[in-house]
Structures are given as C-alpha cells and as structure tokens.
A = this chain, B = another copy of it.
Amino acid sequence: MKKLINAPDAVLHDALHGVEAAHGDRVRVSYDPAFVVRRDAPVQGKVGLVSGGGSGHEPMHGGFVGVGMLDAACPGEVFTSPTPDQMIEATKAVDGGAGVVHIVKNYTGDVMNFDMAAEMGRGEDIEVETVLTNDDVAVEDSLYTAGRRGVGVTVLVEKICGGAAEDGRSLQEVAELGRRVNANGRSMGMALTPCITPGSGNPSFELGDDEVEIGIGIHGEPGRYREKIAPASQISERLMTPIVEDLPFSNGDRVLAFVNGMGGTPLIELYVVYAEVAKIARERGLTIERNLVGNYITSLEMQGCSITLVKLDDEMVRYWDAPVNTPALRWGV
C-alpha cells in the first residue's frame, strides 16, 4: 500500500487539518467529535442541512459544506459511517431555529447511527427530518437486502436542498424536495480497479487485467458481477440501460446527467463516457438540461465511474442553478 499519509489511523485527523487550513475562510472544523461546519453557522431562521458518512469519498461530504449546500458534514473513518455524537453536535451547531435535515445514504451503518443520534438527541428540542438516499439500481432484490444504496444522487440532493434552504423554505419543504430528487434519481457504477483502505492495506477485490466489475457501490465492495472490459460505448450502455428502465425515464423527460469518477479515473475518460451518455440519452428522447462531470463521490483511488440520472422539474432546476459556495462546487457567487 502506497499512500500520501502519515499513518493509517491519522488520515482523517490529518486531512481535516488540511481542510481547515485550505478552506478556513468558509468552514470551521471540530475535531472531537469530528465535523466540518459553515463558518457562519448557525444561520438564523434557515433550515440546517447535515450530512455525513464514511471518509474516502471526497469531496463528499466535507467539500460540500458552504453557502447554498450543506451546513455541516460528519466524516467517519474511511468507509465507516460516523457516530451519533458527531451527528448530535453537528446538528446543534447548525440549528438556526428552523429545524435540521439529515441527508443519509442508505447503508445499515449510516442509518443506524443517524437513528441513534435521533434517539439520543431527543429532548434537545431540535426538529429533525431525515432524507434517505437509495438510488443505486445495481441492488436488485431490495426486499432481501439492506435496500438500495445511496450513491450519486446524494450529491444532487445536497445541492438542491441547499438551494431551497438558502431560499428560506421550511423544514418540511426542504425534506420533501430532497425526497423527490431521490425518488426521481437512479444510479449505477462500475470499477476498473479496486481500492485500498489505509486500515486494511489490501485491495478491496481482485480483478483480472481484462475484467471490470459492474454494479459496485462506493466502499470498495465487490459489484453484482464482473465481465470482460469493453469499449466505453458498451460500458455506458451497460450502466444506462438499468438506470433508464428502472424509474422508468421516458421520451420527453428533462434530466440532469451526472458522470462521476470513482477517484482514480482520469477526467479525459469521464468526458469520453459523458459523450456516450449524451448520445444514449438523445437516442432515448431524454433532454439533458443540466450536467455534472467529475470526481464528486469517490472510492479512494478506485478507477471507474458511476452514472446518475435525475428526472428534473422546474423547482429542482431552480435550486440546482442557485448560488453555491463550497470547496468542491461553486457557482453564482
């Protein structure tokens, strides 16, 4: 294992120091319990947005803290959901009297820790709504599993809810909107290579020199199946088909298309994939009204990509376009 770190156990702590040093003009960092919070939090009268999850998915979530997006992010250890005390303290730190939305990716650990936070936080007198994201169509038999995983749509939910919260919308409205984005979003991912967590030091799975793993999550877990590597056009089709057919998206729909890198894939390849996604969308009669291409929800150094489509409505477009000023997403400000 070769990594730019000081010690496996120190990664999160050291990286938080880097975040504070680099973005101290926009965010503050609490180390114990660990969370990243908007400099100006709590914003009085505004609904607070808190997310969190394991580290190793950067820039998610810490890179999305700032005006127009999250008020706070709770980073767990690498690929390990954060703990209830982080969530409780972050929630308190961002409550401006209008309640707080927790954006939670649907993983057993994340859900249980946020649940415990809610139970333990009772009596704090902060109204909390939870938006659970579960957009990963790779998980098929969700009745016999922990349910679909929350992946790419989470970034979009955070941005769109962030815009709505900034616009003064109520706790219920922000949460409803987040749920609507999730309900209208579908994702699927694939890997060319595994990743190595600092704690384990070993590849998360073994892949042949000509194999790809289809239907992966974002924690280095193996996917649904593996197959021979194919041209980007076929791989894009492989991911797009289950996405488009699951919602289902139909001719005439307006969509946001998000091609996300898993962390180790060169941007030039993501653009190659985006070209294919645009072509497939066109063939299916979908109009891509907004897009995002880049590394936003990653799995350490894994090579591969995921595709997310969200069926848009006017309100989503409006809050997607709204100003945002975070380390990783910035526009309109």
Chain A residues within CB distance 8 Å of chain B: 2-7, 11, 14-19, 21-22, 55-56, 58-59, 63, 78, 192-193, 209-210, 212, 229, 231-233, 235, 263-275, 278, 288, 291, 293, 295, 298, 300-301, 303-305, 325, 327, 330-333
Q: Is the CB of B267 within 8 A of A264?
A: no
Taking A7-B231, A15-B271, A330-B331 as known contacts, 9 extra A-B pairs with beta carbons closer than 8 A to each other, sorted by chain A number, are: A5-B269, A14-B232, A15-B268, A22-B291, A58-B268, A264-B264, A266-B300, A293-B327, A301-B303
Q: Is the CB of A18 within 8 A of B58?
A: no
Q: Is the CB of B58 within 8 A of A15?
A: no
The verdict on A192 contacting B275 (CB below 8 Å), with A14-B232, A266-B301, A298-B267 known, is no
> How many copies are assembled?
2
With a cutoff of 8 Å between Cβ atoms, the chain B residues found around residue A21 in the complex are 274-275, 278, 288, 291
With a cutoff of 8 Å between Cβ atoms, the chain B residues found around residue A193 in the complex are 2
Select which of B16, B55, B272 is within 8 A of A18 by beta carbon.
B272
Q: Is the CB of A18 within 8 A of B231?
A: no
Select which of B233, B275, B300 is within 8 A of A268 by beta carbon.
B300
The verdict on A15 contacting B272 (CB below 8 Å), with A22-B291, A266-B263 known, is yes
Closest to A302 in B: B266
Most interface-central of A3, A18, A305, A330 (chain B CB within 10 A) = A18
Closest to A267 in B: B58
The verdict on A303 contacting B6 (CB below 8 Å), with A22-B274, A271-B18, A272-B11 known, is no
Q: How far is the CA of A304 from the CA of B3 in the complex (A)?
A: 8
Q: Is the CB of A55 within 8 A of B268?
A: yes
| Interchain residue pairs A-B with the least CB separation, the first 9 | A18-B271, A18-B275, A58-B267, A21-B278, A17-B275, A18-B274, A4-B269, A15-B271, A264-B264
- 14 contacts across the A-B interface (CB closer than 8 A): A2-B210, A3-B192, A3-B269, A4-B192, A6-B232, A11-B269, A17-B275, A21-B274, A21-B288, A22-B274, A58-B266, A58-B268, A266-B300, A301-B303
Q: How far is the CA of A327 from the CA of B330 in the complex (A)?
A: 11
Q: Is the CB of B301 within 8 A of A265?
A: yes
